[in-house]
Amino acid sequence: MSTAIQPGAAVVASQETAAAPPNPVIELQGLSVRFGSREILKNLVCSLRGRAIGLLGPNGAGKSTLINTLLGFYKPSAGSARVLGHDIRTGTRKILRLVGYMPENDAIISKMSAVSFVQMMAELSGLPPGAALERAHEALFCVGLAEARYRELGTYSQGMKQLAKLAQAIAHGPRLLILDEPTNGLDPSARQRMIRMIRDIRDSKQLQIVLCSHLLRDVEDTCEEVLILNQGRIAHYSNLEEERKANKRFLELELYNANGDFTAAVEKLGCECATTANRVKMILADGVEIRDIYRIAAERDVRIRRLNFRRDTLEDIFLKAMGS
């Protein structure tokens, strides 16, 4: 289900699926963040419950700032937020105990072997040395770095560094995994591997994922819910899972001799339409059949050159959100 959002308006995931947890993963309660005179996040109100949540937005939209605020790196200037039920103002340490974070930049220690690096990070999360070593090996196996785990991180390729960062984020067994641009700098095959890995982790159903990216394909391939940010505000919320499940009929028509009458007449039947040049995307209302569309077109001398069944891609949703 797709929802256009007015700035500051509340967004709540419409329905919980049976597998979804009872409590929201992230609740934004009028969250604002200001650096000096610049307001980066503006009164965000939202409640997200999906197993995999995508944070989308153009560069500078505030995605990373939102993540960094949830992790306690930045202090909110107004409002607050809750992560897994803990307030970010008072319960940062509790939140950090439950979270695994894969940062966007090259955050590694180049002179360490991957296994030492992941073990140290797991120990810093509170695991005893023995368990941390075991988990480090397991995490590196899980992300596919088993063969290279004794090599120094400085010798790794960009793709391997990304995987090592993912390994350190999951080594301590978090309940929420936050991934900031996980496919940055990866070639297509490495990107595919990373996306597959994220999907595997998501499908293990042992943790929830927040994926922050400006790459729509990444989010579309992995996430159930999408929150689109633009200029520090929530531009759009979309529950992709609900959309996939919804029994709506999406059509895309390519028309010749198109005019406003046609879409107006279709909308009168209760259909939703979006027009761009000679193309019309529509969602058929209950009881409306395709022959009705042909009839309306014939009555108005509009020729239908092509008719495809489709629904909005994330790109359409994103572009619409940016337009609004």
Partner 1 sequence: MAVYRRSYTSYSGPLTPAWSRFLVLFRYSRRKLFRSKLHTVLFVLCFFYPLACLLIIYLAHNLSFIQNFGTVGGGFVAIDNRFFLYFIDVQGALAFVLTAFTGPGLISPDLANGALPLYFCRPFSRAEYVLGKASVLVILLSQITWIPGLILFGIQSSLAGPRWTWDHLWIAGSLVLSSLLWIAILSLLAMALSAWVKWRIVAGALLLAVLFFGAGFAQAINAVLRTQSGHFLNLFYLISTVWTSLLRVPSERSLTSADASVALLVYCGICLALLWRKVRAYEVVR
Q: Which of 111, 196, 295, 310 binds partner 1 (CB under 8 A)?
A: 111
226: nearest Cα among 142, 304, 312, 299: 312
- Six-digit token string for 55: 């944070």
79 scored as a contact of partner 1 (CB under 8 A): no
CA distance linking residue 277 with residue 282, whole number of Å? 14
Report the site for partner 1 in 272-291 (rule: CB under 8 A): none
The least CB distance from residue 291 to partner 1, in Å, is 49
Half-sphere exposure of 205 (CA within 13 A, CB side): 4
Query: Given the complex with partner 1, which of 165 and 236 has the nearer CB atom?
Result: 165
Q: Which of 18, 93, 276, 323 binds partner 1 (CB under 8 A)?
A: 93
- Applying CB under 8 A, among 6, 16, 19, 124 the residue interacting with partner 1 is 124
CB 176 within 8 A of CB 25: yes
As measured in angstroms, the least distance from the Cβ of 106 to partner 1 is 6
The DSSP bridge pattern shows strands 78-83 and 26-35 to be: antiparallel
Counting contacts by CB under 8 A, is residue 150 touching partner 1?
no
Angle at 26 between CA 41 and CA 48, to 5 degrees: 100
The SS3 of residue 146 is: coil
Q: Is 35 in the site for partner 1 (CB under 8 A)?
A: yes
78 contributes a contact to partner 1 by CB under 8 A: no
Does 249 bind partner 1 (CB under 8 A)? Our answer is no
Q: Say whether 144 sits in a helix, a strand or coil.
A: coil
| Residue span binding partner 1 (CB under 8 A) among the ranges 16-24, 98-106, 214-222, 242-250 | 98-106
Of 111 and 245, CB closest to partner 1: 111
Distance CA 189, CA 159 (A): 10
Of the candidates 151, 175, 199, 300, which one interacts with partner 1 according to CB under 8 A? 175
Q: Check residue 196 for interaction with partner 1 (CB under 8 A).
A: no
Residue of 240, 184, 246 whose CA lies nearest to 53 = 240
With CB under 8 A as the contact rule, the residue among 14, 15, 110, 157 that binds partner 1 is 110
For 140, the token pair is 């590196």
The sign of the torsion formed by the CA atoms of 116, 122, 123, 125 equals positive
Residue type, 103: P
Q: Which residues bind partner 1 (CB under 8 A)?
A: 35-38, 68, 71-74, 93, 96-97, 99-101, 103, 105-111, 116, 120-121, 123-128, 131, 134-135, 137-138, 141-142, 146, 168, 170, 172-173, 175, 200-201, 204, 206-207
